[in-house]
Structure 1
Amino acid sequence: MTFAERLTRWDGWLIDQLFQPLADRLPFERAAIQLGMSFQLGSLMLTAMALLMPIVLLGASFGDTVDSCLILLMNFAFFMGMKRSAPLVRAGMMNPLRPMLMAQRLISIAFVLYQAWWCLGAHGIMFDVSFVMLLSQITFVLGLYFVACQPRPPRARFAQKNGQIIDGPWSTSGQLR
């Protein structure tokens, strides 16, 4: 088994054994994708906060934080793309975003590990900024995994008869007609 096959199997295990049971407990069919999109939006907001923290707390200029601005713009573009792709996920059908976003999920996990490593070496206010970025990356990964979950099939509809329960000679309080 190659390394790529192991990563694919590990990614599938994470979705099937960890995130899908959580998604199945959510209250309605499309709750997992909506929760995933909420995590994506939260990641975008945390990235914006990490961009503004050095400007507000340290007096950094916009040019000093240009890399964070580019990360914010990439996150925003990805969020808008996910928002446009969300209608592709329908109950009772295979989730097309699961195979489409597999590489993105694995790369994002690598970025979480890198950000955690970078966070360990930071001190003072830079620790706070790197910790906010770590939270942003974690919420991004959570969002990707919830978006990849299979939506529950719609509930079965049962035919209902609108009228009296018993038709026949006893339909009027048990009196014969």
Structure 2
Amino acid sequence: MTYQTLADDNQFKFKCPIFNAETKMATCVKLRNLVWKGLTPEKRRGCQACMSAGKCPAAQIVQKMAMSGPRSMQPDDYGSTAPVLGKLRRDILERIRPVMVMSSTIQRLSLSSIEVNMIETANERIEAMLGSAPGASSKSKASIKGKARKPRDLSSPSTEPKQKTMSKVEQAAASGDLSAAL
């Protein structure tokens, strides 16, 4: 199964919580692929900084799809053959919220003060989006099944210390009689 989200002709748009701009998923995926190849295009340097730090929602979506195996395919919530403006899911927003872009990354990519300010204030927009964000699709939730465990015996441990049996050499050494130890 291929994801429409990753296709060049994907028409899905979303509002980026980092730069507060409407953007096409296909454009973000294309830029993400260039960044992962080690290229640094002149445009969208702020996006590149967020992608390399893990704060970009599009990069997180692609990573989640790439890491899912054939048995646990992620739902294709961000793909469309017709123009549509959609919302980012709660799990993606929660994943990028705590991430910080390091100052060394900001300096390396020579970000403008406007880009730096947008990145620094992104969590406010992420919080606002979380209020109306759709939850993760039921298909993407992993079901965890395991054997029931027996409860551990929680009775108090024995207060008597266990006596260690010492060898004759250890007994002699403990008594200080080195000739007996030899």
TM-score by length of 2: 0.23
Higher helix share: 1
Higher strand share: 2
TM-score by length of 1: 0.23
